[in-house]
Amino acid sequence: MLRDFTSTATVVIFLFELAVLLRAMLRPLREPASRLAWLIAILVLPVVGTLAYLLLGEARVSERRRRRYAAIEARLPRPGGDPEAAQRLAQGPYAAPFALARSVNGLPPTLGNSARLASDSNAAIDEMVADIDAATGSVHLCFYIWLADTNGLKIKEALIRAAARGIKVRVLADALGSRQFVRSDHWRDLHRQGIDAREALPVGGIFWTLIRGRVDLRNHRKVLILDNRVAWCGSQNAADPEFRIKARFAPWVDVMTRWEGPVARHCQFLFAADWMAEKGDDITALLTPEPVGATVPAGIAAQVIGTGPLLAYPAMTACFAALIHSARSELVVTTPYFVPDEQLLYALISAAQRGVRTVLVLPRRNDSRIVAGASRSYYPALLAAGAEIHEFRPGLLHAKSMVIDHEVALIGSANLDRRSFELNFENNVLFADPVFASELRVRQNAFIAQSDRITREEVAGYGLLARLWQNFLAMLGPVL
Protein backbone atom coordinates (compact mmCIF):
# COMPACT_ATOMS: atom_id res chain seq x y z
CA MET A 1 0.00 0.00 0.00
CA LEU A 2 2.77 2.44 0.98
CA ARG A 3 4.68 1.58 -2.18
CA ASP A 4 1.61 2.29 -4.33
CA PHE A 5 1.05 5.61 -2.56
CA THR A 6 4.70 6.60 -3.06
CA SER A 7 4.54 5.70 -6.75
CA THR A 8 1.35 7.70 -7.21
CA ALA A 9 2.83 10.72 -5.39
CA THR A 10 5.96 10.52 -7.54
CA VAL A 11 3.88 10.52 -10.72
CA VAL A 12 1.79 13.46 -9.50
CA ILE A 13 4.88 15.48 -8.57
CA PHE A 14 6.49 14.67 -11.92
CA LEU A 15 3.38 15.74 -13.85
CA PHE A 16 3.14 18.93 -11.78
CA GLU A 17 6.78 19.80 -12.43
CA LEU A 18 6.29 19.04 -16.12
CA ALA A 19 3.29 21.37 -16.24
CA VAL A 20 5.28 24.17 -14.61
CA LEU A 21 8.19 23.54 -16.99
CA LEU A 22 5.88 23.76 -20.01
CA ARG A 23 4.32 26.92 -18.63
CA ALA A 24 7.77 28.50 -18.25
CA MET A 25 8.62 27.51 -21.83
CA LEU A 26 5.36 28.79 -23.31
CA ARG A 27 5.00 32.15 -21.53
CA PRO A 28 4.80 34.90 -24.18
CA LEU A 29 7.25 37.82 -24.43
CA ARG A 30 9.94 36.16 -22.33
CA GLU A 31 13.60 36.47 -23.28
CA PRO A 32 15.30 33.21 -24.34
CA ALA A 33 17.85 33.75 -21.54
CA SER A 34 15.02 33.88 -19.01
CA ARG A 35 13.43 30.71 -20.37
CA LEU A 36 16.77 28.93 -20.25
CA ALA A 37 17.47 30.09 -16.69
CA TRP A 38 14.13 28.83 -15.45
CA LEU A 39 14.47 25.59 -17.41
CA ILE A 40 17.79 24.87 -15.71
CA ALA A 41 16.45 25.85 -12.28
CA ILE A 42 13.44 23.54 -12.57
CA LEU A 43 15.42 20.59 -13.98
CA VAL A 44 18.40 20.83 -11.62
CA LEU A 45 16.40 21.66 -8.47
CA PRO A 46 12.94 20.25 -9.22
CA VAL A 47 11.19 21.10 -5.95
CA VAL A 48 12.96 24.38 -5.20
CA GLY A 49 12.99 25.47 -8.84
CA THR A 50 9.30 24.70 -9.32
CA LEU A 51 8.28 26.57 -6.17
CA ALA A 52 10.57 29.48 -7.07
CA TYR A 53 8.96 29.75 -10.49
CA LEU A 54 5.47 29.75 -9.03
CA LEU A 55 6.45 32.54 -6.61
CA LEU A 56 8.83 34.62 -8.76
CA GLY A 57 8.69 33.40 -12.33
CA GLU A 58 5.86 35.57 -13.61
CA ALA A 59 4.68 39.11 -13.04
CA ARG A 60 1.37 37.80 -11.73
CA VAL A 61 -1.35 40.19 -10.65
CA SER A 62 -4.54 38.75 -9.19
CA GLU A 63 -7.21 38.28 -11.83
CA ARG A 64 -9.65 40.44 -9.88
CA ARG A 65 -7.21 43.34 -9.73
CA ARG A 66 -6.24 42.87 -13.38
CA ARG A 67 -9.88 43.12 -14.44
CA ARG A 68 -10.39 46.17 -12.23
CA TYR A 69 -7.37 47.97 -13.73
CA ALA A 70 -8.51 47.13 -17.26
CA ALA A 71 -12.02 48.43 -16.64
CA ILE A 72 -10.73 51.65 -15.07
CA GLU A 73 -8.23 52.40 -17.84
CA ALA A 74 -10.84 51.67 -20.50
CA ARG A 75 -13.24 54.30 -19.16
CA LEU A 76 -10.77 56.93 -17.98
CA PRO A 77 -10.70 59.86 -20.40
CA ARG A 78 -7.24 60.67 -21.74
CA PRO A 79 -6.34 64.32 -21.18
CA GLY A 80 -5.71 66.10 -24.45
CA GLY A 81 -2.37 66.96 -25.97
CA ASP A 82 -1.14 69.61 -28.35
CA PRO A 83 -1.12 68.91 -32.11
CA GLU A 84 1.72 71.41 -32.53
CA ALA A 85 3.86 69.45 -30.06
CA ALA A 86 3.13 66.17 -31.85
CA GLN A 87 3.93 67.69 -35.24
CA ARG A 88 7.13 69.31 -34.02
CA LEU A 89 8.38 66.12 -32.40
CA ALA A 90 7.41 63.94 -35.38
CA GLN A 91 9.63 66.04 -37.64
CA GLY A 92 12.66 65.95 -35.34
CA PRO A 93 15.37 63.37 -34.67
CA TYR A 94 13.67 62.13 -31.50
CA ALA A 95 10.34 61.17 -33.06
CA ALA A 96 10.66 57.46 -32.25
CA PRO A 97 10.89 57.63 -28.43
CA PHE A 98 7.98 60.08 -28.21
CA ALA A 99 5.84 57.97 -30.55
CA LEU A 100 6.60 54.86 -28.52
CA ALA A 101 5.88 56.67 -25.25
CA ARG A 102 2.48 57.74 -26.58
CA SER A 103 1.59 54.13 -27.33
CA VAL A 104 2.10 53.09 -23.69
CA ASN A 105 -0.77 55.00 -22.07
CA GLY A 106 -2.34 56.83 -24.99
CA LEU A 107 -1.11 60.13 -23.56
CA PRO A 108 0.01 62.60 -26.26
CA PRO A 109 2.76 65.23 -25.88
CA THR A 110 1.79 68.60 -24.45
CA LEU A 111 3.10 72.16 -24.76
CA GLY A 112 2.73 75.10 -22.41
CA ASN A 113 4.70 73.46 -19.61
CA SER A 114 7.29 74.98 -17.32
CA ALA A 115 9.60 73.03 -15.04
CA ARG A 116 12.34 73.46 -12.50
CA LEU A 117 14.74 71.30 -10.53
CA ALA A 118 14.77 71.35 -6.75
CA SER A 119 18.26 72.21 -5.49
CA ASP A 120 18.44 69.13 -3.24
CA SER A 121 16.27 66.61 -1.42
CA ASN A 122 15.42 68.80 1.58
CA ALA A 123 14.61 71.75 -0.67
CA ALA A 124 12.31 69.52 -2.72
CA ILE A 125 10.33 68.54 0.39
CA ASP A 126 10.10 72.16 1.54
CA GLU A 127 8.85 73.26 -1.88
CA MET A 128 6.33 70.42 -2.00
CA VAL A 129 5.09 71.47 1.44
CA ALA A 130 4.76 75.06 0.21
CA ASP A 131 2.73 73.86 -2.77
CA ILE A 132 0.47 71.79 -0.50
CA ASP A 133 -0.03 74.85 1.72
CA ALA A 134 -0.95 76.92 -1.35
CA ALA A 135 -3.39 74.37 -2.81
CA THR A 136 -6.97 75.54 -3.23
CA GLY A 137 -8.75 72.52 -4.73
CA SER A 138 -7.11 69.13 -4.42
CA VAL A 139 -3.92 67.45 -3.24
CA HIS A 140 -3.04 64.01 -4.57
CA LEU A 141 0.06 62.19 -3.37
CA CYS A 142 1.61 58.80 -4.11
CA PHE A 143 4.91 57.60 -2.64
CA TYR A 144 6.63 54.23 -2.56
CA ILE A 145 8.43 54.87 0.75
CA TRP A 146 7.12 57.20 3.45
CA LEU A 147 9.09 57.43 6.68
CA ALA A 148 8.17 59.05 9.98
CA ASP A 149 11.28 61.24 9.93
CA THR A 150 11.66 65.01 9.57
CA ASN A 151 10.70 65.23 5.90
CA GLY A 152 8.06 62.52 6.10
CA LEU A 153 6.34 64.32 8.98
CA LYS A 154 6.60 67.67 7.17
CA ILE A 155 4.54 66.14 4.37
CA LYS A 156 2.09 64.62 6.84
CA GLU A 157 1.50 67.92 8.68
CA ALA A 158 1.08 69.84 5.41
CA LEU A 159 -1.59 67.35 4.30
CA ILE A 160 -3.41 67.76 7.59
CA ARG A 161 -3.30 71.56 7.24
CA ALA A 162 -4.73 71.26 3.73
CA ALA A 163 -7.56 69.03 4.91
CA ALA A 164 -8.34 71.50 7.71
CA ARG A 165 -8.78 74.22 5.03
CA GLY A 166 -11.36 72.07 3.28
CA ILE A 167 -9.05 70.82 0.53
CA LYS A 168 -9.77 67.32 -0.77
CA VAL A 169 -6.65 65.29 0.05
CA ARG A 170 -6.13 61.84 -1.43
CA VAL A 171 -3.08 59.79 -0.45
CA LEU A 172 -1.58 56.54 -1.72
CA ALA A 173 1.39 54.86 -0.03
CA ASP A 174 2.78 51.54 -1.15
CA ALA A 175 1.76 48.88 1.37
CA LEU A 176 5.19 47.26 1.42
CA GLY A 177 7.54 50.20 0.90
CA SER A 178 5.68 52.34 3.47
CA ARG A 179 4.65 49.49 5.76
CA GLN A 180 6.06 51.10 8.92
CA PHE A 181 4.27 54.38 8.26
CA VAL A 182 0.89 52.86 7.37
CA ARG A 183 0.98 50.83 10.60
CA SER A 184 1.80 53.85 12.74
CA ASP A 185 -0.25 56.46 14.56
CA HIS A 186 0.75 58.96 11.84
CA TRP A 187 -1.35 57.06 9.30
CA ARG A 188 -4.25 56.96 11.71
CA ASP A 189 -3.83 60.73 12.26
CA LEU A 190 -4.40 61.27 8.54
CA HIS A 191 -7.67 59.36 8.72
CA ARG A 192 -8.76 61.18 11.87
CA GLN A 193 -8.29 64.51 10.08
CA GLY A 194 -10.56 63.47 7.22
CA ILE A 195 -7.85 62.56 4.71
CA ASP A 196 -8.62 59.67 2.40
CA ALA A 197 -5.38 57.68 2.75
CA ARG A 198 -5.10 54.26 1.14
CA GLU A 199 -2.51 51.53 0.84
CA ALA A 200 -1.38 50.84 -2.71
CA LEU A 201 -1.26 47.12 -3.54
CA PRO A 202 -2.13 45.92 -0.03
CA VAL A 203 -0.35 42.75 0.99
CA GLY A 204 -2.84 41.21 3.43
CA GLY A 205 -2.16 37.62 4.42
CA ILE A 206 1.15 36.61 2.91
CA PHE A 207 -0.08 33.11 1.97
CA TRP A 208 -3.07 34.27 -0.02
CA THR A 209 -1.12 37.15 -1.51
CA LEU A 210 1.40 34.70 -2.93
CA ILE A 211 -1.40 32.54 -4.34
CA ARG A 212 -3.21 35.49 -5.95
CA GLY A 213 -0.09 37.19 -7.28
CA ARG A 214 3.46 38.26 -6.46
CA VAL A 215 3.98 40.14 -3.23
CA ASP A 216 6.90 42.08 -4.76
CA LEU A 217 4.83 43.76 -7.49
CA ARG A 218 4.89 47.27 -6.04
CA ASN A 219 3.69 50.80 -6.72
CA HIS A 220 7.07 52.51 -7.05
CA ARG A 221 5.64 55.83 -8.26
CA LYS A 222 6.59 59.14 -6.67
CA VAL A 223 4.19 61.89 -7.66
CA LEU A 224 2.38 64.84 -6.12
CA ILE A 225 -0.37 66.67 -8.02
CA LEU A 226 -1.90 69.91 -6.79
CA ASP A 227 -5.04 71.61 -8.10
CA ASN A 228 -4.71 69.64 -11.33
CA ARG A 229 -2.09 72.11 -12.60
CA VAL A 230 1.15 71.45 -10.64
CA ALA A 231 2.93 68.10 -10.48
CA TRP A 232 6.10 66.86 -8.81
CA CYS A 233 7.90 63.93 -10.42
CA GLY A 234 11.27 62.33 -9.72
CA SER A 235 13.13 59.79 -7.65
CA GLN A 236 12.60 61.00 -4.10
CA ASN A 237 10.57 59.25 -1.44
CA ALA A 238 8.88 61.03 1.46
CA ALA A 239 11.97 60.76 3.64
CA ASP A 240 15.12 62.49 4.80
CA PRO A 241 18.26 62.07 2.67
CA GLU A 242 19.78 60.39 5.75
CA PHE A 243 17.28 57.56 5.09
CA ARG A 244 17.61 56.16 8.60
CA ILE A 245 16.30 52.69 7.79
CA LYS A 246 19.49 52.24 5.71
CA ALA A 247 21.63 54.95 7.25
CA ARG A 248 25.02 53.44 6.39
CA PHE A 249 24.40 54.11 2.68
CA ALA A 250 23.29 57.70 3.24
CA PRO A 251 22.83 60.27 2.02
CA TRP A 252 20.26 59.27 -0.59
CA VAL A 253 20.83 61.74 -3.44
CA ASP A 254 17.72 62.40 -5.53
CA VAL A 255 16.39 64.63 -8.27
CA MET A 256 12.87 66.05 -8.13
CA THR A 257 11.22 68.20 -10.79
CA ARG A 258 8.28 70.56 -10.41
CA TRP A 259 6.01 70.82 -13.45
CA GLU A 260 3.34 73.38 -14.14
CA GLY A 261 1.01 73.15 -17.10
CA PRO A 262 -1.03 70.51 -18.93
CA VAL A 263 1.50 67.75 -18.17
CA ALA A 264 0.20 67.87 -14.58
CA ARG A 265 -3.18 66.67 -15.81
CA HIS A 266 -1.43 63.71 -17.46
CA CYS A 267 0.26 62.86 -14.16
CA GLN A 268 -3.24 63.03 -12.72
CA PHE A 269 -4.29 60.31 -15.16
CA LEU A 270 -1.76 57.90 -13.63
CA PHE A 271 -2.83 58.80 -10.12
CA ALA A 272 -6.51 58.40 -11.01
CA ALA A 273 -5.92 54.89 -12.37
CA ASP A 274 -4.03 53.86 -9.23
CA TRP A 275 -6.50 55.58 -6.93
CA MET A 276 -9.60 54.03 -8.41
CA ALA A 277 -7.90 50.63 -8.55
CA GLU A 278 -7.62 50.87 -4.75
CA LYS A 279 -11.39 51.55 -4.65
CA GLY A 280 -11.05 55.29 -4.16
CA ASP A 281 -13.79 57.63 -5.32
CA ASP A 282 -14.27 58.40 -9.02
CA ILE A 283 -12.08 61.38 -10.02
CA THR A 284 -12.47 61.16 -13.79
CA ALA A 285 -13.88 64.70 -13.88
CA LEU A 286 -10.36 65.99 -13.23
CA LEU A 287 -9.20 64.49 -16.53
CA THR A 288 -11.59 66.32 -18.85
CA PRO A 289 -9.85 68.49 -21.46
CA GLU A 290 -9.07 72.06 -20.54
CA PRO A 291 -11.13 74.77 -22.25
CA VAL A 292 -9.85 75.89 -25.63
CA GLY A 293 -7.33 78.68 -25.19
CA ALA A 294 -6.59 77.77 -21.59
CA THR A 295 -2.97 76.95 -22.41
CA VAL A 296 -0.40 78.79 -24.44
CA PRO A 297 1.34 76.61 -27.10
CA ALA A 298 4.83 77.40 -25.89
CA GLY A 299 7.24 76.18 -23.27
CA ILE A 300 8.45 72.64 -22.74
CA ALA A 301 7.11 69.74 -24.80
CA ALA A 302 6.47 66.97 -22.27
CA GLN A 303 4.89 63.54 -22.22
CA VAL A 304 4.00 61.27 -19.30
CA ILE A 305 4.86 57.57 -19.28
CA GLY A 306 3.31 55.20 -16.75
CA THR A 307 4.42 51.57 -16.86
CA GLY A 308 3.70 48.46 -14.83
CA PRO A 309 3.21 44.70 -14.84
CA LEU A 310 -0.23 44.97 -16.43
CA LEU A 311 1.18 46.11 -19.77
CA ALA A 312 1.48 43.56 -22.54
CA TYR A 313 5.25 44.06 -22.83
CA PRO A 314 8.09 45.70 -20.85
CA ALA A 315 7.34 49.21 -22.11
CA MET A 316 9.86 50.97 -19.88
CA THR A 317 12.72 48.98 -21.39
CA ALA A 318 11.52 49.82 -24.88
CA CYS A 319 11.26 53.54 -24.07
CA PHE A 320 14.77 53.60 -22.57
CA ALA A 321 16.17 51.74 -25.59
CA ALA A 322 14.40 54.03 -28.09
CA LEU A 323 15.89 57.06 -26.35
CA ILE A 324 19.37 55.54 -26.37
CA HIS A 325 19.12 54.71 -30.07
CA SER A 326 18.08 58.30 -30.83
CA ALA A 327 21.25 59.79 -29.31
CA ARG A 328 23.54 61.49 -31.83
CA SER A 329 26.36 62.97 -29.76
CA GLU A 330 25.91 62.32 -26.04
CA LEU A 331 23.99 60.12 -23.64
CA VAL A 332 24.26 60.50 -19.85
CA VAL A 333 22.43 58.18 -17.47
CA THR A 334 22.17 58.19 -13.69
CA THR A 335 20.57 55.28 -11.87
CA PRO A 336 21.07 53.53 -8.53
CA TYR A 337 20.16 50.07 -9.83
CA PHE A 338 21.66 48.95 -13.12
CA VAL A 339 20.73 45.41 -14.19
CA PRO A 340 19.90 45.74 -17.89
CA ASP A 341 18.28 43.17 -20.10
CA GLU A 342 19.86 42.33 -23.47
CA GLN A 343 17.86 44.99 -25.34
CA LEU A 344 19.08 47.78 -23.08
CA LEU A 345 22.65 46.53 -22.75
CA TYR A 346 23.14 46.26 -26.50
CA ALA A 347 21.54 49.68 -27.02
CA LEU A 348 24.13 51.20 -24.68
CA ILE A 349 27.00 49.28 -26.29
CA SER A 350 25.92 50.22 -29.81
CA ALA A 351 25.59 53.89 -28.82
CA ALA A 352 29.16 53.92 -27.54
CA GLN A 353 30.46 52.03 -30.57
CA ARG A 354 28.91 54.46 -33.04
CA GLY A 355 30.71 57.36 -31.41
CA VAL A 356 28.08 58.68 -28.99
CA ARG A 357 29.63 59.74 -25.69
CA THR A 358 27.91 57.23 -23.42
CA VAL A 359 28.15 57.92 -19.69
CA LEU A 360 26.77 55.88 -16.80
CA VAL A 361 26.80 57.30 -13.26
CA LEU A 362 26.12 54.68 -10.58
CA PRO A 363 26.61 54.56 -6.80
CA ARG A 364 29.91 53.17 -5.50
CA ARG A 365 28.13 51.81 -2.40
CA ASN A 366 24.81 50.17 -3.20
CA ASP A 367 22.23 49.12 -0.62
CA SER A 368 21.81 45.89 -2.59
CA ARG A 369 24.91 43.69 -2.82
CA ILE A 370 23.19 41.58 -5.45
CA VAL A 371 22.50 44.59 -7.68
CA ALA A 372 25.99 46.01 -7.09
CA GLY A 373 27.63 42.74 -8.12
CA ALA A 374 25.36 42.23 -11.12
CA SER A 375 25.95 45.82 -12.27
CA ARG A 376 29.72 45.40 -12.28
CA SER A 377 29.47 42.25 -14.39
CA TYR A 378 28.49 44.51 -17.31
CA TYR A 379 31.44 46.90 -16.89
CA PRO A 380 33.93 45.04 -19.15
CA ALA A 381 31.63 45.00 -22.20
CA LEU A 382 30.59 48.62 -21.75
CA LEU A 383 34.14 49.88 -21.24
CA ALA A 384 35.39 47.85 -24.21
CA ALA A 385 32.76 49.58 -26.37
CA GLY A 386 34.01 52.99 -25.22
CA ALA A 387 31.42 53.88 -22.60
CA GLU A 388 32.33 55.87 -19.49
CA ILE A 389 31.38 54.53 -16.07
CA HIS A 390 31.53 56.73 -12.96
CA GLU A 391 30.81 55.55 -9.42
CA PHE A 392 29.38 58.20 -7.10
CA ARG A 393 31.25 58.45 -3.78
CA PRO A 394 29.31 60.54 -1.20
CA GLY A 395 26.26 58.30 -0.74
CA LEU A 396 23.65 56.37 -2.67
CA LEU A 397 22.98 58.18 -5.92
CA HIS A 398 19.25 57.51 -6.20
CA ALA A 399 18.49 59.90 -9.09
CA LYS A 400 17.00 58.29 -12.18
CA SER A 401 17.71 60.46 -15.22
CA MET A 402 18.68 60.20 -18.88
CA VAL A 403 19.75 63.20 -20.98
CA ILE A 404 20.25 62.94 -24.75
CA ASP A 405 22.32 65.51 -26.69
CA HIS A 406 21.44 68.30 -24.21
CA GLU A 407 18.00 68.38 -25.91
CA VAL A 408 15.79 65.53 -24.71
CA ALA A 409 15.57 63.91 -21.28
CA LEU A 410 13.66 61.41 -19.20
CA ILE A 411 13.22 61.72 -15.46
CA GLY A 412 11.10 59.89 -12.92
CA SER A 413 10.92 56.80 -10.72
CA ALA A 414 12.14 54.01 -13.02
CA ASN A 415 15.55 52.39 -12.57
CA LEU A 416 17.51 50.60 -15.27
CA ASP A 417 16.79 47.20 -13.80
CA ARG A 418 14.40 44.36 -14.39
CA ARG A 419 12.27 45.25 -11.38
CA SER A 420 11.38 48.61 -12.90
CA PHE A 421 11.05 47.08 -16.36
CA GLU A 422 8.66 44.27 -15.46
CA LEU A 423 7.44 44.34 -11.85
CA ASN A 424 6.91 47.89 -10.57
CA PHE A 425 4.37 50.58 -11.40
CA GLU A 426 6.55 53.55 -12.44
CA ASN A 427 6.02 57.15 -13.55
CA ASN A 428 8.32 59.19 -15.78
CA VAL A 429 8.23 62.40 -17.78
CA LEU A 430 9.86 62.51 -21.21
CA PHE A 431 10.53 66.03 -22.43
CA ALA A 432 12.19 67.96 -25.24
CA ASP A 433 13.66 71.32 -24.28
CA PRO A 434 17.34 72.32 -24.68
CA VAL A 435 17.25 74.73 -21.73
CA PHE A 436 15.78 72.37 -19.15
CA ALA A 437 17.68 69.35 -20.50
CA SER A 438 20.92 71.32 -20.15
CA GLU A 439 19.95 72.27 -16.59
CA LEU A 440 19.54 68.59 -15.78
CA ARG A 441 22.91 67.90 -17.44
CA VAL A 442 24.52 70.44 -15.10
CA ARG A 443 23.14 68.44 -12.18
CA GLN A 444 24.49 65.24 -13.72
CA ASN A 445 27.90 66.90 -14.09
CA ALA A 446 27.82 67.70 -10.38
CA PHE A 447 27.31 64.00 -9.71
CA ILE A 448 30.17 63.08 -12.06
CA ALA A 449 32.45 65.57 -10.28
CA GLN A 450 31.86 63.61 -7.06
CA SER A 451 32.51 60.25 -8.67
CA ASP A 452 35.43 57.99 -9.51
CA ARG A 453 35.83 57.06 -13.15
CA ILE A 454 36.15 53.30 -13.58
CA THR A 455 38.97 52.21 -15.88
CA ARG A 456 39.48 49.04 -17.86
CA GLU A 457 42.59 48.35 -15.79
CA GLU A 458 40.60 48.56 -12.55
CA VAL A 459 37.98 46.15 -13.87
CA ALA A 460 40.66 43.76 -15.12
CA GLY A 461 42.02 43.68 -11.58
CA TYR A 462 38.78 42.56 -9.92
CA GLY A 463 40.13 39.04 -9.50
CA LEU A 464 38.78 35.64 -10.46
CA LEU A 465 36.48 35.15 -7.46
CA ALA A 466 35.01 38.64 -7.79
CA ARG A 467 34.30 38.13 -11.49
CA LEU A 468 32.74 34.72 -10.86
CA TRP A 469 30.50 36.22 -8.18
CA GLN A 470 29.49 39.18 -10.38
CA ASN A 471 28.70 36.99 -13.37
CA PHE A 472 26.78 34.54 -11.19
CA LEU A 473 24.61 37.37 -9.88
CA ALA A 474 24.05 38.65 -13.42
CA MET A 475 22.94 35.16 -14.44
CA LEU A 476 20.23 35.35 -11.80
CA GLY A 477 18.83 38.50 -13.40
CA PRO A 478 16.46 36.70 -15.80
CA VAL A 479 15.21 34.53 -12.93
CA LEU A 480 14.58 37.21 -10.30
Q: Are 398 and 252 in contact (CB under 8 A)?
A: yes
pLDDT score for 180: 96
- Is residue 111 predicted with pLDDT exceeding 70? yes
Task: Assign 31 a pLDDT band (cuts: 50, 70, 90).
Answer: low
Q: Length of the chain in residues, anyone? A: 480
Task: Assign 348 a pLDDT band (cuts: 50, 70, 90).
Answer: very high
pLDDT score for 114: 97
pLDDT score for 187: 98
Would you please indicate which residues are annotated as catalytic (active-site) residues?
220, 222, 227, 398, 400, 405
Q: What stretch of H or E contains 129?
A: helix 121-134
- Is residue 213 predicted with pLDDT exceeding 60? no
Per residue in 262-273, pLDDT (tens digit) is 999 999 999 999
Per residue in 154-167, pLDDT (tens digit) is 999 999 999 999 99
Domains of the chain: 15-56 (no CATH), 63-91+108-300 (3.30.870.10), 315-476 (3.30.870.10)
Per residue in 87-106, pLDDT (tens digit) is 989 999 999 999 999 999 99
* Percent of the chain scoring above 70 in pLDDT: 84
Per residue in 119-162, pLDDT (tens digit) is 999 999 999 999 999 999 999 999 999 999 999 999 999 999 99
Q: What is the rounded CA–CA span in Å between residue 114 and residue 36?
A: 47
- Is residue 207 predicted with pLDDT exceeding 60? no
What's the whole-number mean pLDDT along residues 350-364?
98
Question: Crossing angle for the helix pair 2-26 and 46-56, nearest 10 degrees?
Answer: 50
* Percent of the chain scoring above 90 in pLDDT: 68
- Is residue 393 predicted with pLDDT exceeding 80? yes
Closest CA to 221 of 171, 261, 185, 179: 171
Task: Assign 4 a pLDDT band (cuts: 50, 70, 90).
Answer: low
Q: What is the pTM of this model?
A: 0.89
Of 56 and 268, which is predicted with more confidence?
268
